[in-house]
């Protein structure tokens, strides 16, 4: 039987405190800004690696973005992923979620057979949460969003997940292949393995594919393939937090604190 193959989609995003938006075209500025793996995508990596430990198989990481994403893919390899693919081409730039999910789906198609595609619940920069359902549609897989926990049901060809709902959760079971988005904080991402880091940096299998390699329709990627236009971005006003140091013995401070909180109870 073919081994379990999990694809982990990982986006590299600017650190939240450094996000800058270009006022001309409302795209994210990446130059001179420190980046990180999108936080929910760290939970994706952990979930993929834990499932591999349980069932065997392979974890492949995929990202679409500029060449500098390469070093972050090597981080994923150092955590335990087996191989990585970077979809990188100037013609991918300016993609909305439709064009992004199309390019990622084409890359995944080219990688070959898979059972499970894991994405983060949303990115910390664009934050639309539309890419995972988009990939599911392009590849015609079943889909689960906002998974807090996910298990492969042995010998059934099914995956079972607990997914978040407002004020509760539901448990659903769907057939593989499946595309699932994972809640931030769903697990505790492992640290990278230092020996694997040396291997990942020196000879880790990161393959870069351009638009031609993944056989995309040029009209469906980047700006030509993106019907969404960001019309404007507004800066939320910063609100000053109030701070007060309570004086007295610990007992007096607790009493004073309760008095302060009472109006809100």
* 63 binds ligand FAD, rule: CB under 6 A: yes
| Beta carbon nearer to ligand FAD, 44 or 48 | 44
- Kindly state the smallest distance separating residue 84's Cβ from ligand FAD, in Å: 11
Count, residues near ligand FAD per rule CB under 6 A: 34
* 229 binds ligand FAD, rule: CB under 6 A: no
Half-sphere exposure of 47 (CA within 13 A, CB side): 31
Sheet holding 206-209, edge to edge: 168-175, 158-165, 142-153, 178-182, 116-120, 5-9, 58-64, 83-87, 206-209
Residue span binding ligand FAD (CB under 6 A) among the ranges 123-131, 140-148, 163-171, 235-243:
123-131
* 125 binds ligand FAD, rule: CB under 6 A: yes
Closest-CA residue to 47 (of 73, 9, 16, 2): 9
* 10 binds ligand FAD, rule: CB under 6 A: yes
Residue span binding ligand FAD (CB under 6 A) among the ranges 96-104, 142-150, 151-159, 211-219:
96-104
Q: How far is CA 201 from CA 41, 77, 170, 194, in A?
A: 20, 9, 41, 11
- Assigned token pair, 183: 């809640």
- Assigned token pair, 174: 């769907």
Q: How far is CA 265 from CA 123, 134, 243, 259, 262, in A?
A: 35, 43, 19, 10, 5
| Beta carbon nearer to ligand FAD, 80 or 222 | 222
> Using the rule CB under 6 A, which residue among 35, 37, 38, 114 binds ligand FAD?
38
| In contact, 117 and 135? CB cutoff 8 Å | yes
- Kindly state the smallest distance separating residue 240's Cβ from ligand FAD, in Å: 25
The secondary structure of 62-106 as a DSSP string is EEES-GGGHHHHHHHHHHT-SEEEEE--GGGTT--HHHHHHHHHH
* 28 binds ligand FAD, rule: CB under 6 A: yes
Residue span binding ligand FAD (CB under 6 A) among the ranges 70-78, 130-138, 155-163, 234-242:
130-138
Residue span binding ligand FAD (CB under 6 A) among the ranges 70-78, 121-129, 140-148, 161-169:
121-129
| DSSP state letter for 138 | H
* 21 binds ligand FAD, rule: CB under 6 A: yes
Q: Work out the end-to-end distance of the chain between its first and last CA atoms, rounded to an integer number of angstroms.
A: 59
Residue span binding ligand FAD (CB under 6 A) among the ranges 114-122, 165-173, 202-210, 216-224:
114-122
* 76 binds ligand FAD, rule: CB under 6 A: no
* 123 binds ligand FAD, rule: CB under 6 A: yes
Residue whose beta carbon is closest to ligand FAD: 126
Q: How far is CA 249 from CA 244, 246, 253, 257, in A?
A: 16, 9, 6, 12
Please give the residue ranges that form the binding site for ligand FAD (CB under 6 A). Answer: 9-11, 21, 26-28, 38, 40-41, 44, 63-65, 95-97, 100, 104, 119-120, 122-123, 125-132, 228, 230, 233
């Amino acid at each position: 039987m073919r081994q379990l193959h999990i694809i982990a989609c990982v986006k590299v995003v600017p650190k939240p405190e450094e996000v800058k938006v270009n006022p001309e075209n409302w795209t994210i500025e990446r130059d001179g800004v420190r980046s990180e793996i999108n936080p929910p995508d760290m939970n994706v990596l952990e979930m993929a690696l834990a499932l591999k430990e349980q069932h065997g198989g392979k974890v492949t990481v995929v990202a679409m973005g500029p060449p500098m994403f390469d070093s972050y893919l090597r981080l994923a390899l150092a955590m335990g992923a087996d191989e990585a693919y970077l979809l990188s081409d100037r013609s991918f730039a300016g993609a909305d979620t439709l064009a992004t999910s199309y390019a990622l789906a084409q890359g995944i198609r080219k990688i070959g057979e898979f059972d499970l595609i894991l994405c983060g619940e949303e990115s910390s920069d664009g934050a639309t949460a539309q890419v995972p359902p988009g990939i599911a549609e392009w590849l015609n897989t079943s889909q689960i969003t906002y998974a807090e926990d996910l298990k492969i049901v042995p010998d059934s060809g099914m995956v079972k997940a607990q997914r978040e709902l407002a004020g509760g959760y539901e448990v659903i079971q769907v057939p593989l292949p499946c595309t699932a988005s994972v809640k931030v904080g769903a697990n505790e991402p492992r640290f990278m393995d230092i020996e694997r880091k040396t291997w990942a940096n020196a000879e880790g299998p990161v393959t870069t594919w351009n638009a031609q390699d993944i056989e995309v329709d040029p009209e469906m990627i980047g700006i030509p393939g993106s019907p969404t236009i960001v019309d404007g971005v507004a800066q939320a006003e910063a609100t000053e937090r109030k701070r007060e140091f309570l004086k007295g013995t610990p007992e007096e401070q607790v009493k004073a604190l309760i008095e302060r909180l009472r109006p809100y109870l």
